[in-house]
Amino acid sequence: MKAGGRKGKAGRQESPAPAIPPSRHSALGGGAEFDRIRHIVARLGSSAGPIGDDCAVIPEGSGRLVASSDLSVEGVHFRTEWLSLKEIGWRAAAAALSDLAAEGASAVGVLVSLGVPWGATEGDPAEIMAGVGEAVASVGGVVLGGDLSGAGQWLVDVMVLGRAERPVTRAGARPGDTLWLTGRLGGARVALGAWAQGSAPPAGARAAFAHPEPRLAAGQALAAAGATAMIDVSDGLGGDARHLAAASACALEVDLDLVPVHPDVIETARREGIHSARFAALGGEDYELLVTMPHGFGPDGAARISRAGGVPLTRIGAVAPGSGARFRLSGAEIDLRGFDHFAGPGPVI
Amino acid sequence: MKAGGRKGKAGRQESPAPAIPPSRHSALGGGAEFDRIRHIVARLGSSAGPIGDDCAVIPEGSGRLVASSDLSVEGVHFRTEWLSLKEIGWRAAAAALSDLAAEGASAVGVLVSLGVPWGATEGDPAEIMAGVGEAVASVGGVVLGGDLSGAGQWLVDVMVLGRAERPVTRAGARPGDTLWLTGRLGGARVALGAWAQGSAPPAGARAAFAHPEPRLAAGQALAAAGATAMIDVSDGLGGDARHLAAASACALEVDLDLVPVHPDVIETARREGIHSARFAALGGEDYELLVTMPHGFGPDGAARISRAGGVPLTRIGAVAPGSGARFRLSGAEIDLRGFDHFAGPGPVI
């Protein structure tokens, strides 16, 4: 299974091109999609800002304005047979808002560009926007505006604007930090797997895909508690751990036995003969937060974050000197790859 | 000819729905596309911000942050047989930046969500982004970030962020103001007409469509000179004059004999048996500024704006009590409609 690009944010080269001072951008892990981004950044030259984190950061008065965009395409990120239009709107907005969460930001609002298929009814765009509006209102933001166009399929591009006193980038993790995860992984993968086989997913897994909760409250609480680096797990734990490690220029050691899995994962993983933690860690689209916390942050701090954010926070590993992400399962190191979004051809969910 | 929606910004209802206080949003003129927007705003209820101008306005320190998005879709707004990928990128960015110009804002930067067709080569997205980067750099901004996805056709959604001390909305025109236009109209329509007939457009008309200059310098100079209301002419003078009149709750009187037309209009309009000013005023996609100036602004002020903005500024009418836009040509009132973007079905340029 491949989807059409959640972490496709323009980013710093790992092997810097002459035109781009390597310190200006945020390093990304490997993969064809990220090669495209490196190509774009090289081609942009000096017209690229310091890009590559979950959000762009713009100085603003005493704090920072942060901005990000997230494009959802019918047939790539969702199908109308799977989700109601309102769910499509919620999910697209939640995916974009998740980038604010990963920056420790609060939401100001969103701009939404909507591509409307030619056969849509008069009320369809409003139905999508109702879902967008509910997601944005759930985190205290508003719909600021947007654009409409006819298109060959539904497109929902959500641009989020937020504020952060101290934006948490992917780049601040240091050896000695501990590694934590909000929520649990794998629910969205269970749902996608069921749909791919033409069956109806279990209700819980379906909800994980259709109605992800953007973790803005948890993200702000984590930032206030001293988070050193943060990223949202949209491409799968495997890929996103590598992105965070690359941006921070250190190594992440992940203990997959500690990763909480969505309850619907158990049965599906058993049927497919995959360890449930491996199944969950390879799934994308979960929109939980992967965060490094400084030495001294422990169970009491985690309990406070869980209360403030309304979501469990679980320690799943540590930061070490070196590079890349290493995954251990039942005592052995395993190879874990996040899915590569850009291997096309054709709609690929 | 119809295109896929340039002024599809969420906007205030002309007949306010109960949930939406009419004063919060900006009134739009008539048309099916704008009915969709009114529907969306009604459905959003309290989760809609005060939307409907060229840009959303966000309080920020001593000034204002302004933001807007503009979606360009292959087969709706452009075809790859017409434009190079770099031109597609320039044009998409210029269309979005034009909204900043219409607010009297300076550019901070852009976020770009790019939908990439399955058959695209590795370098194609970077080629589009090179055009985006050049357009943004031409007005002093940078590419802040973005998102990538596979898609059924090229999509370029550009979100612009800018700053304005005093954003100029569409809503401030008052009877007694005079009405002005930057540049000249109709070039893009000539190019689109030629392509529709399978012929190559004249070079000047082609450039008007492929490489519109976003009028940020002129917009800022107009704002500093006291502009009372401003809009960019993306949907045609007919439609955009009506939008400005509706938002300002007054009437615009436009003398079409005064509207400067692109030189390539003359021959095409003659061949089609249409008065050249009518032809030019019905064309969209020109991205010039339509602006109302206070009593006392005259030729000297216009000369200063022209110098600062690098584009002619021409008086084309006046603001009067009443509502709507009235167009006179050779002494007679004529009916002039901007094109309606949302009449589908199918790609329609």
pLDDT (tens digit per residue) in B53-91: 777 777 666 678 899 999 999 999 999 999 999 999 999
For range B183-203, the mean pLDDT: 96
Question: What single DSSP character describes residue B41?
Answer: H
For range A224-240, the mean pLDDT: 94
Out of A76, A113, A119, the one facing B157 most closely (by C-beta) is A113
**Does the CB of A46 have a partner CB in chain B at under 8 Å?**
yes
**Does the CB of A5 have a partner CB in chain B at under 8 Å?**
yes
Nearest to B120 by CA among A40, A153, A12: A40
Quick: pLDDT tens for B134-168: 999 999 999 988 899 999 999 999 999 999 988 99
CA dist A348 and A39 (Å) reads: 23
Share of chain A above pLDDT 70, in %: 85
Helices (H), A32-186: 32-44, 85-101, 124-138
CATH code, A56-164: 3.30.1330.10
Out of B67, B73, B108, the one facing A149 most closely (by C-beta) is B73
Give the model's pLDDT for residue B76. Answer: 92
Give the model's pLDDT for residue B64. Answer: 84
Nearest-CA distance from B332 to chain A in Å? Answer: 35
Give the model's pLDDT for residue B6. Answer: 53
Rg (CA), chain B: 19
Three-state secondary structure of B97-119: HHHHHCCCCEEEEEEEEEEEECC
Q: Using a CB-CB distance cutoff of 8 angstroms, which residues of chain B are in contact with residue A35?
A: 122
SS3 A348: coil
Out of B53, B75, B159, the one facing A69 most closely (by C-beta) is B159
Is the predicted pLDDT of residue B340 greater than 50, yes or no?
no
Quick: pLDDT tens for A277-297: 999 999 888 999 999 999 999
Give the model's pLDDT for residue A174. Answer: 98
**Does the CB of B117 have a partner CB in chain A at under 8 Å?**
no
CA dist B64 and B57 (Å) reads: 6
Confidence of residue B337 (pLDDT cuts 50, 70, 90): low
Phi and psi, residue A210, nearest 5°: -80, -25
**Chain mean pLDDT for chain B:** 86
Out of B42, B137, B148, the one facing A36 most closely (by C-beta) is B148
CA dist A295 and A270 (Å) reads: 37
Is the predicted pLDDT of residue B18 greater than 60, yes or no?
no
- With CA atoms as reference, the chain B residue closest to A133 would be B47
Is the predicted pLDDT of residue B343 greater than 50, yes or no?
no
Is the predicted pLDDT of residue A56 greater than 80, yes or no?
no
Q: Is the interface score ipTM higher than 0.90? A: no
Rg (CA), chain A: 19
Is the predicted pLDDT of residue A49 greater than 60, yes or no?
yes
Beta strands in chain B (DSSP E): 56-60, 63-73, 106-117, 142-151, 155-164, 178-182, 229-233, 251-255, 288-293, 313-320, 324-329, 332-334
Q: Using a CB-CB distance cutoff of 8 angstroms, which residues of chain B are in contact with residue A56?
A: 109, 111, 144-145
CB distance B125–A40 less than 8 Å?
A: yes
Nearest-CA distance from B120 to chain A in Å? Answer: 10
- Where is pLDDT greater, at A83 or B31? A83
Cα atoms in the 13 Å half-sphere on the side-chain side of B208: 29
Is the predicted pLDDT of residue A346 greater than 50, yes or no?
no
- Among A121, A148, A234, A349, most B C-beta atoms within 10 A, so best to mutate, is A148
Out of B36, B61, B75, the one facing A60 most closely (by C-beta) is B61
SS3 A89: helix
Confidence of residue A6 (pLDDT cuts 50, 70, 90): low
**Does the CB of B345 have a partner CB in chain A at under 8 Å?**
yes
In this prediction the pTM is: 0.86
For range B186-198, the mean pLDDT: 95
Is the predicted pLDDT of residue B338 greater than 50, yes or no?
no
Confidence of residue A51 (pLDDT cuts 50, 70, 90): low
CATH 3.30.1330.10 residue ranges for chain B: 56-164
Cα–Cα distances in angstroms (integers) from residue A6 to residues A24, A240, B18, in the given order:
22, 11, 38
- Among A25, A136, A144, A342, most B C-beta atoms within 10 A, so best to mutate, is A144
**Does the CB of B140 have a partner CB in chain A at under 8 Å?**
no
**Does the CB of A48 have a partner CB in chain B at under 8 Å?**
yes
Give the model's pLDDT for residue B24. Answer: 59
- Where is pLDDT greater, at B340 or B57? B57
Quick: pLDDT tens for B214-231: 999 999 999 999 999 999
CATH code, B178-334: 3.90.650.10
Q: Using a CB-CB distance cutoff of 8 angstroms, which residues of chain B are in contact with residue A135?
A: none
SS3 B132: helix
Q: Are B219 and B104 in contact (CB under 8 A)?
A: yes
CB distance B73–A122 less than 8 Å?
A: no
Quick: pLDDT tens for A139-151: 999 998 889 999 9
CA dist B146 and B49 (Å) reads: 23
DSSP string, A27-53: B---SHHHHHHHHHHHHHGGGB-S--S
Give the model's pLDDT for residue A22. Answer: 38
CB distance A49–B145 less than 8 Å?
A: yes
For range B191-213, the mean pLDDT: 96
- Sheet strands side by side (includes B251-255): B229-233, B288-293, B178-182, B313-320, B251-255, B324-329, B332-334
Give the model's pLDDT for residue B172. Answer: 95
Give the model's pLDDT for residue B51. Answer: 61
CA dist A342 and B4 (Å) reads: 27
Q: Which of A44-48, A114-118, B319-323 has the lowest mean pLDDT?
A: A44-48
**Does the CB of A144 have a partner CB in chain B at under 8 Å?**
yes
Is the predicted pLDDT of residue B261 greater than 50, yes or no?
yes
Q: Which of A92-106, A320-334, B32-46 has the lowest mean pLDDT?
A: B32-46
Q: Are B178 and A79 in contact (CB under 8 A)?
A: no
Out of B9, B47, B113, the one facing A134 most closely (by C-beta) is B47
CB distance A123–B39 less than 8 Å?
A: yes
- Where is pLDDT greater, at B91 or A344? B91
CATH 3.90.650.10 residue ranges for chain A: 178-334
Is the predicted pLDDT of residue B28 greater than 90, yes or no?
no
